Structure 1
Amino acid sequence: MTDDAPRLADTSSREILRLAVPAFLALVAEPLFLLVDSAVVGRLGVAPLAGLGAASAVLLTLSGLFVFLAYGTTGAVARRLGAGEQRQAIEDGWSGVWLALLLGSLAAVVCATWAHPFAAAVGGSPAVLDQATTYLRISALGLPAMLVVLAATGVLRGLLDTTTPLVVATVGFGANAALNIALVHGVGLGIAGAAWGTVIAQVGMALALVTVVARRARREGASARLRLGGVVRAARDGVPLLVRTLALRAVLLLTVTVAAQLGDVPLAAHQVTMTIWSTLTFALDALAIAAQALTGRALGQGDRAAVREATTTMTRWGLWCGVVLGLIVAAAHRVLPVAFTSDEGVRAAIAAALLVVAAGQPLSGVVFVVDGVLIGAGDGRWLAVAGTVVLLAYLPMLWLAREMAQGRGAAEGLAVLWVGFTGFMLVRWATLWWRVRGEGWMVTGAVR
C-alpha cells in the first residue's frame, strides 16, 4: 500500500460519524415503540403496565434471539463489499431476508399458541397475566415483519447505508405513536390497541425496507429469489450469534423474573427502567453498528491496521458517550418516571433504579462497541462461548441481589436488582477486553 492510497484509518472518524449518526437516530426510534406503548398503556393503570412489562420481556426475548439476522448480515455483506463482490453481497443479504421471513413465521405461531404460558413464566398477578396474554397474542402477528426489518436493515448497513433505515424507523415510530393513541384511548381497545398499532407499523416498515433492498438488487443484477443453499448457509453462520444472544436474553429474562417476584410495583417500575435502559443501549449501539460495518469492510480489504485504529477510536467514543448519557439520566431520574405513570410508588422505584442505570452507562458504552467489532469480524464462535460464561457468572450475582432485595421497599429493592445487573455488564466487559486485545479474531478476506 502506497502513501497515496487512502486507508480506512485515515478517514475513520468521518466514516464513523457518517454511519453512526443515522444509526443512532434509527436505533433510538426502535425502543421508542416500547416507550410509546409504556406511556400510553401506563395511563390505564398498574396492571396493564405490568402486563406490558411481562409481555415485552417475552417479545424482546423471541425477537432478540434472531438479532443475528441484522448483526451477522451486516458483517458478512460488508466483507463482500470490501472485497469488491457487491452482487454477491446483496445475494447473501437476500438469503438473510428469506431466513427472517421463515423464522418469523415460526416464531409467530409459537408465540400466539403459548402466549399464556410464556406470560406466566415471567410472573405477576392474575390481572397482570390477562393483560400480558392479550398483548402477546396480537403482537405475535408482527413477528415476521419485525425479523424482516432486522435482516433488511442489516443488508443496508453492510452496504454502508444507515440513512434509509433511519427514514423508515422515523416514519414507523410516528405511525406507531398515532395508532396507539387512537386505538388505546380513542377507540377504547386498551392494551390490545397498543399491540395492534405496533403490528401495523412493523408491517409497513418491513415492506418499505424490502422495496429498497430489491431496488439495489436490480441495480447490481443480483437475484432476489429464494435460494435454499444460501438460506441454509445464513442459518448455519448465525448459530454462534444465536447462542450468544440466547445467553444475553436469558440474563434479561431472569432479571425481569426476579423483578416479578418482588411484586407488581417493582415489576411495573422495572418495565419502565428496562425500556429506558434499552433506549440508551440502542443509542450506544450506533457505534457498534459502525464498528460492524467498518470492521467487516476493512477485513474484506485485508487492512488489519485500519481495524485496530478504528477499534481504538470507537471504544474511546463509546466511553465518553456513556459518560454523557449517564449524566443526563442522573439529572432527569426524577422527571422521567412522571411520563410513564401516576402511581407514586412506581415513580419512586423507577427513580431509584435510574440512578444505578446512570452510573453504568460508561461501562455500557465500551461493551457495545467492542461487541460490535467482534461481530463485524465474524467472531461468532468465541462470542457464543463468552456469552455462556457470562450467563453462568451472573447467576450467583442475581441470586445475591434477589436475597438482598427481599423484604426491602420497592425502590430500594429494585435498585439492588439493578446493581446486580451492572455486575453482569462488568463481567461481560472483562471477557470482551481479553479477546480484543489479541489478534486471533482479525481474519481477512471476503469470507471468514
Structure 2
Amino acid sequence: MAVGGISSPWNNMGKLPLFMLFRDSRNVLKNDELGIEIVNIGLPATLALMADPVASLIDTAFIGRIGAVELASVGVSIAIFNQVSRITMLPLVSITTSFVAEEEATSKSTEAEEDENVGSNHDVDHEMVPLTGRSDMKITKSEDNRRRVPSASSALVIGCMLGILQTLFLISTAKAILHYMGVKPDSPMLKIAQQYLTLRSLGAPAILLSLAAQGVFRGLKDTKTPLYAIIIGDSANILLDPILIFTLRLGVNGAAIAHVVSQYLIFLILIWRLVENVVLLPPSFKELQFGRFLKSGFHLLVKVISTTSCMTVATSLAARLGPKPMAAFQVCLQIWLATSLLADGLAVAGQAILASAFAKKDYEKTVVAASRVLQIGVVLGLLLSFILAAVSQFASTLFTKDFDVLRLMNISFPFIAVTQPINALAFVFDGVNYGASDFAYSACSMVLVAVTSISCLFILSSSHGYVGIWIALTIFMCLRVFAGLLRIGTGRGPWSFLRS
C-alpha cells in the first residue's frame, strides 16, 4: 500500500525503515530541484554558522600572541559563555524555525485552496484558522503588504527576556562558575577570565534577539539575509580586535568589547531587514504563542542542557589539568566545533524543508529530503576529515608558539579529523528531528546519551588524562548518531508512516 505517494519499490522495504537512509544514494550530489533547494538554504546558513566560530578563532589567534595564561583564561570564559548561551539560544532558534516554516507552508496550502474555491474573488477573509495537528496559526498579509508572522513576535519577546536574564546571571555568578570550572582563587587565570566573561555577557541580549530573528528568516527559507548581517558584524569584530587589544592596550578586555559591538551590529541589521518585511507588533496579546514555545522549548531545553553538560564537564576536566592543557583543549575544541558546524547548515536546510513537508503531510518529500541531507552529511564529513588531516600541522602554529601547547594540540588533531563524519551526522540528525517536531524524543534520548558520556569523561580522564577527554567526546558523538538512527530506523514517532 502506498503511503503519501511513495513509489512501489520503496514500499517493498516498508517494514525496514532504516533503508530510507540509503534511498537514491547515487543521487546524493544530484543538481535536481531538491538539491538546489538544500544548497540555497544550507549554504548561506552554513556560512552564517561558520562566521562566529571563525571570528572566535581569530580572537583566539590574537589573544594567543599575548600569552598562554591569557589564552587559557579566555578559553575557560568562552566555554562558559557558549555553554550558557546554548541553553537558551538553540531552543529559541530551532523552535522559531520550525514554527515559522509550518505557518508558511500551511498559509500557502490554504491560499491555494482558497484560490480554487473562490476563483478570481480576491476579497478573501484571511483570519487565523486551525491547522492540521501542527500549529494553530498561519502567516497573513497586513495592509502595507508586510507579513504577519505569529511566531516572530513571540520569539523576539522571549529572546529579549532570555538575553537580559543571561547577562544578569553571568555577571552575578562569574567568579563562582569559574571556580567550578577548575580556576582556583590563587590562579593567575581568575582575574583575566572574570573580566572577559563579564564584558562578553553584555552582548547576550543582542545575541538572543539576533537568533530569534534568524529563526524567522530560516523558517521563511531566507538564509542569505542573516549571512550578510553576520558577515558585516564579524568583520567589524575582526577589524576592532587588533585596535582594541594592541593599539589601545586593552588586552583580552579589548577582544570582549569587539565581540559585543559586533553582536549589537548584527542585531540592528537583522531587525532593520525584518521590519521591512514582517509586522513585529501583534494586534493582540493572545497572538503571542508563549504556550507553544514553552512546551516545545522545555523539551529542547532538556536536550541542550544535556549536551552542554558534556562539553562543560570536558572543559572543566581540561582546566583542572593546568593552563597549557586547557589552552590546547580550547583551541582544538573551537576547531572541532567550527568544522562540525558546517553540517549544521545542512541541518537548517533539512529542518526547514521537513517542517514544511510534514505540515503538508507530503511524506514522499519527507523521505527524499531526510535521506538526501543525511547522505550529504556523510560526504561532507569525509571531506572535512581529509582537509583537517592535511592542514593539522600548519593550523596548530597559527594559535601559539608554546611547545607544550603544540604537543597537546597534535595529540588532539587525529580525534578532530576522524570524528568529522560522525559529528556531521549527529548535527544533521538534530535538524531532521526538529523538522519533524520530534522535540520530546530529542530530549529524552540526549539525557541518556549525556549520562553515559559524562560517566565516560570522568572514568577516561582519570585513567588517560588529556587523551581520555577526547576519547569520551568521541563516544558522545557516536551515541548521538545512534539515537538518531534508532528513531528513524525503527519507524517510531512522526516516522511511523515508514512502517505502513
Normalised to the residue count of structure 1, the TM-score between the two structures is 0.92
Match of 2:437 among 378, 384, 387: 378
- How far off its partner does 1:214 sit? 1.6
C-alpha contact 2:438 2:493 (8 A) present in aligned 1: no
Question: Secondary structure at 1:174's aligned position in 2?
Answer: helix
- How far off its partner does 1:231 sit? 3.3
Q: Judging changes above 3 Å, is the alpha-carbon distance between structure 1 residues 2 and 252 closer, same or farther for their aligned structure 2 residues? A: closer
Match of 2:309 among 225, 228, 250: 250
Deviations 1:24-58 (A, max 9, x none): 11111021231122111111101110011110111
- For the pair 1:429 / 2:481, whether they are aligned, the reply is yes
User: Mapping of 1:167-182 within 5 angstroms?
Assistant: 167-182=228-243
- How far off its partner does 1:225 sit? 6.9
In 1, Cα distance between the equivalents of 2:494 and 2:246?
A: 52
Point out the structure with the larger helix share.
1
In 1, Cα distance between the equivalents of 2:169 and 2:343?
A: 32
**Paired position in structure 2 for 1:308:** 367
**Paired position in structure 1 for 2:131:** none
**Paired position in structure 2 for 1:355:** 414
In 2, Cα distance between the equivalents of 1:10 and 1:330?
A: 32
Deviations 1:274-307 (A, max 9, x none): 1111111211111000011001111111111211
Match of 1:191 among 235, 246, 252: 252
- For the pair 1:81 / 2:89, whether they are aligned, the reply is no
- One-letter identity of the residue aligned with 1:158: G
**Paired position in structure 2 for 1:42:** 64
Q: Judging changes above 3 Å, is the alpha-carbon distance between structure 1 residues 120 and 36 closer, same or farther for their aligned structure 2 residues? A: same
- How far off its partner does 1:236 sit? 3.1
User: Mapping of 1:25-36 within 5 angstroms?
Assistant: 25-36=47-58
In 2, Cα distance between the equivalents of 1:344 and 1:420?
A: 25
C-alpha contact 1:77 1:89 (8 A) present in aligned 2: no
- How far off its partner does 1:89 sit? 6.9
User: Mapping of 1:170-319 within 5 angstroms?
Assistant: 170-218=231-279, 223-224=281-282, 227=285, 229-319=288-378
**Paired position in structure 1 for 2:176:** 117
In 1, Cα distance between the equivalents of 2:96 and 2:486?
A: 25
Deviations 1:58-117 (A, max 9, x none): 101111001111111111111111111323872212211110000100110111111111
Instruction: Structure 2: give runs of 5+ residues left out of the alignment.
Output: 7-30, 108-137, 141-146
- How far off its partner does 1:334 sit? 1.1
**Paired position in structure 1 for 2:200:** 139
**Segment of structure 1 superposing worse, 78-87 or 200-209:** 78-87
Count of residues in Structure 1 that have an aligned counterpart in Structure 2: 429
Match of 2:458 among 388, 399, 418: 399
C-alpha contact 2:457 2:468 (8 A) present in aligned 1: no
Q: Judging changes above 3 Å, is the alpha-carbon distance between structure 1 residues 435 and 89 closer, same or farther for their aligned structure 2 residues? A: farther
Q: Judging changes above 3 Å, is the alpha-carbon distance between structure 1 residues 423 and 226 closer, same or farther for their aligned structure 2 residues? A: farther
User: Mapping of 1:59-78 within 5 angstroms?
Assistant: 59-66=81-88, 67-78=90-101
- One-letter identity of the residue aligned with 2:322: G
Question: Secondary structure at 1:388's aligned position in 2?
Answer: helix
RMSD of Structure 2 on Structure 1 (CA):
2.0
- For the pair 1:166 / 2:227, whether they are aligned, the reply is yes
- One-letter identity of the residue aligned with 1:81: E
Question: Secondary structure at 2:188's aligned position in 1?
Answer: helix
Deviations 1:220-246 (A, max 9, x none): xx6457847423432332111111000
In 1, Cα distance between the equivalents of 2:424 and 2:296?
A: 27
Instruction: Structure 1: give runs of 5+ residues left out of the alignment.
Output: 4-8, 407-412
**Segment of structure 1 superposing worse, 13-22 or 118-127:** 118-127
In 2, Cα distance between the equivalents of 1:112 and 1:101?
A: 17
Deviations 1:155-195 (A, max 9, x none): 10000000001101111110011111110111000111010
Q: Judging changes above 3 Å, is the alpha-carbon distance between structure 1 residues 177 and 10 closer, same or farther for their aligned structure 2 residues? A: closer
**Matched-pair identity in %:** 29
In 2, Cα distance between the equivalents of 1:105 and 1:99?
A: 10
Runs of 4+ in 1 over 4 A off after TM superposition: none
- One-letter identity of the residue aligned with 1:146: I
Which of the two has higher C-alpha Rg?
A: 2
**Segment of structure 1 superposing worse, 230-239 or 78-87:** 230-239
C-alpha contact 1:94 1:224 (8 A) present in aligned 2: yes
- One-letter identity of the residue aligned with 2:472: G
**Segment of structure 1 superposing worse, 330-339 or 287-296:** 330-339
In 1, Cα distance between the equivalents of 2:351 and 2:39?
A: 14
Question: Secondary structure at 1:114's aligned position in 2?
Answer: helix
- How far off its partner does 1:395 sit? 2.3
In 2, Cα distance between the equivalents of 1:178 and 1:249?
A: 30
- How far off its partner does 1:124 sit? 3.2
Q: Judging changes above 3 Å, is the alpha-carbon distance between structure 1 residues 402 and 207 closer, same or farther for their aligned structure 2 residues? A: same
